[in-house]
Chains A and B, each alone.
Chain A
């Protein structure tokens, strides 16, 4: 046996467990979902094995109006979710980017402490932490109490069950996922480049735009992807903090599967969410490839 084939054999052996796991628990369910999304819903739940594209037509506008109706509300929920997810990403960047610079300049000991604190919320259950937000935001909650006592307002504000509450909750959950990639790229930034830029006559703003931002962009983009994907499909936060007022696509999918018993329609919605994410990723990869088109040799 040559060294090459032995290496290949070892690699196959090492990769086999994870490949098998992904095949059984990821590729297979996904294929089932994809297949279901093109099937006819059964009258009492389940599916009829008949090709049926109206599931997508209902959302995107080519329903026949007899079996399925085109409902613009699905599209608007979809776009609303997209908006909330992008808003979550934006707020996370605004919070984490300056914080990352601040932490990266701390002495080593404090840095480690800060990174530990960032991951601390993972030690408590997500549901518990979201209930805490209910206690904070509800009309008789902590925040209203403080504002009333301070005399800033004379009646409790409706803070919970708003889009603001949902975005707050999602930002809260997602901050570690945004912070860590951004921190990694900020920490890596060579400060002598900043000095060189200033030395060559660039103002602070020019230095930021031409040097700091481009060099930390990979961290921002990486964090954005990790935050965007779970935010778009999130249904826990909107159901706890959005109540009946804020419905996201994740809630809709959940309802289709668990309450409406329309698995094909739920699957179609899930596929649309996935397709959207894929489009964003594709755009990112294209941009990266174009930016880095110089061959690495020579």
Chain B
């Protein structure tokens, strides 16, 4: 019987890791994490600082060991295998370029320590530099390069030995905005060309949505949700994910009626709102989410099955959109609404203090669990 190739490049099974602070407290960095990364996949670990994403990365790269649980790399248990013997390379947040070496020596480092012959090594260094658009820069010293160029050198250095998996620890956070956006596309293209899996760590949800095949949302050492960017954005699994990924208006409440696919929710501040029911039954507590861009201005109350009335508190122009902050009638709660280009003409008529009615499509409003998983 031939050995079957594992479909996943990385499998983390019930990974547990905690640290002791200098004050003697225990901090749980990973509380039973279960994750698999497919071959040729761009997966992003997303979460606020301290959520455990970097710890997970360090456990995979071999700089930390799990307290309990297993990590399989390409089907093999790597428990206790030191970093230098794992077929995994990392792009560090600070780039960690060797300041005393030229760009060529930095990129060729992994080949040099592995004893690859000079000619072969030089050829591959040139190739790797070409891949990151730095052809012919071998002789430069890292300190003479711009931030973006240093980033590319770090990337070339990490991919030259064709690792099975590339780990990227917030590699774009030190770049300015334009450069960061350009690099996002380049990274994605590179990953596609190389055909290796990328695990990308970031706290920037925009970055995660742009680049990833799948996003893993982490909080407090626990995975909150794993899914494609649209999935995570449209149907967050709980209020934490909804708040962390994109802007959202959240209403805590109770399901008081189910009507086919739709549920009627009485919110704690007294509104009656409709949403896709999902798994929720009558009487259950739930969190209802309406994304700001799901609101549109209605002619008047009663135009739609799902509408709320309110008064404009603030109006902010953000380039492509207008953001309105609206105080709802009755409860006085504030909600955010994003009005796009096609409604622009109507927006100009809207002034602060004016009452208006917002409608939304109830089948796009989402119900989820109120609390984050822990």
Name A residues whose Cβ lies closer than 8 Å to a Cβ of B: 107, 190, 192-193, 195-203, 206, 210-211, 214-215, 294, 296-298
Contacts and interface: CB of A to CB of B under 8 A. Distances in A.
Given A201-B113, A201-B161, A203-B113, A195 B22 contact: no
A199 B161 contact: no
Nearest to A190: B96
Given A107-B22, A210-B113, A198 B94 contact: no
Nearest to B102: A294
B113 A215 contact: no
B322 to A, nearest CB: 44
Interface string B254-269: 0000000000000000
B144 A294 contact: yes
Nearest to A298: B144
A199 B144 contact: no
B92 A200 contact: no
A199 B83 contact: yes
Given A198-B83, A199-B61, A296-B144, 10 more contacts: A107-B22, A190-B94, A197-B109, A197-B113, A199-B88, A200-B89, A200-B110, A210-B112, A214-B100, A215-B99
Contact of B109 (A192, A202, A203): A202
Given A195-B63, A195-B83, A202 B90 contact: no
A195 B96 contact: yes
Contact of B110 (A190, A201, A214): A201
Interface in B140-173: 140-141, 144, 157-158, 161
Contact of A193 (B98, B110, B144): B98
B113 A199 contact: no
Given A107-B22, A210-B113, A202 B98 contact: no
A199 B85 CA distance: 8
A198 B84 contact: yes
A294 B141 contact: yes
B144 A196 contact: no
Contacts of B283: none
B161 A195 contact: no
Q: Give me the 5 closest cross-chain CB pairs, A-B, nearest first.
A: A196-B96, A200-B110, A192-B96, A202-B113, A198-B83
Given A199-B83, A203-B84, A193 B114 contact: no
Q: In this complex, which of B63, B94, B109, B112 has the most chain A Cβ atoms within 10 angstroms of its Cβ?
A: B109
25 contacts: A107-B22, A190-B96, A192-B92, A192-B94, A193-B98, A195-B63, A195-B92, A196-B98, A197-B98, A198-B83, A199-B61, A199-B83, A199-B84, A199-B88, A199-B89, A199-B90, A201-B85, A201-B114, A201-B161, A202-B109, A210-B112, A210-B113, A211-B98, A294-B140, A298-B144
B229 to A, nearest CB: 28
B246 interface: no
A297 B114 CA distance: 33
Interface residues on B, range: 20 to 34
A200 B161 contact: yes
A200 B113 contact: yes
Contacts of B84: 198-203
Nearest to B114: A201
B82 interface: yes
| Contact residues of A: prevailing secondary structure | helix
B113 A196 contact: no
Nearest to B61: A199
A211 B99 CA distance: 9
Contacts of A215: 99-100
B157 A200 contact: yes
Nearest to B154: A196
A136 B129 CA distance: 62
A192 B154 CA distance: 13
Contacts of A296: 144
Interface string B95-119: 0111110000000011011100000
B109 A198 contact: no
B96 A193 contact: yes
A193 B113 CA distance: 15
Nearest to B105: A210
A196 B92 contact: yes
B109 A200 contact: yes
Contacts of B113: 197, 200-203, 206, 210
B165 to A, nearest CB: 12
Contacts of B88: 199
B219 to A, nearest CB: 26
Contacts of A193: 96, 98-99
Given A201-B113, A202-B113, A294-B141, A196 B90 contact: yes
Interface string B76-87: 000000111100
Nearest to B160: A200
A213 B279 CA distance: 61
Contacts of A297: 144
A242 B191 CA distance: 69
A297 B140 CA distance: 11
B247 to A, nearest CB: 35
A177 B113 CA distance: 35
Contacts of A196: 90, 92, 96-98
Contacts of B62: 198-199
A162 B181 CA distance: 70
Interface string B56-82: 000001110000000000000000001
Contacts of B141: 294
Contacts of A198: 62-63, 82-84
A198 B61 CA distance: 10
A93 B98 CA distance: 24
A298 B139 CA distance: 13
Nearest to B89: A199
Nearest to A108: B22
A296 B141 CA distance: 9
